[in-house]
Amino acid sequence: YKLVEIENIFGVIKGSQEPDRWIMVGNHRDTWVNGAVDATTGLAALNELGHGLMLLKNSGWRPRRTIVFASWGAEEQGIIGSTEFVEDYITLLQEKMVAYINIDVAASGQ
């Protein structure tokens, strides 16, 4: 076995009226077998959501609550990235997070 460092990547758009209330949207980046479906479709959707909301923000719009975008590392190896984040920040998440929206396998087909 080889030890490697994993990374979680975050982006934030601060809320205008309730900045201490968070909506988190996330997906993992790593993939094993069905990479075109899991996790690539979810990552593409997460990136486009972030891009679209950033364009709105740059035109003067701000969300009511803070939106946190999360791109998790090492999901296929045991949901490590998101688990470590929750373990490290459980108190903060309990105080501030209102909802978590997981965008994993956003599209698939036959």
Mind telling me the catalytic residues? 75
The single-letter DSSP state of residue 52 is: H
* 22 Cβ neighbours under 8 A, 6+ residues apart: 65, 66, 67, 68, 96, 97, 98
- H/E run at residue 93: helix 80-96
| DSSP β-bridge partners for residue 70 | 10, 26
| Phi, psi (deg, nearest 5) at residue 55 | -60, -40
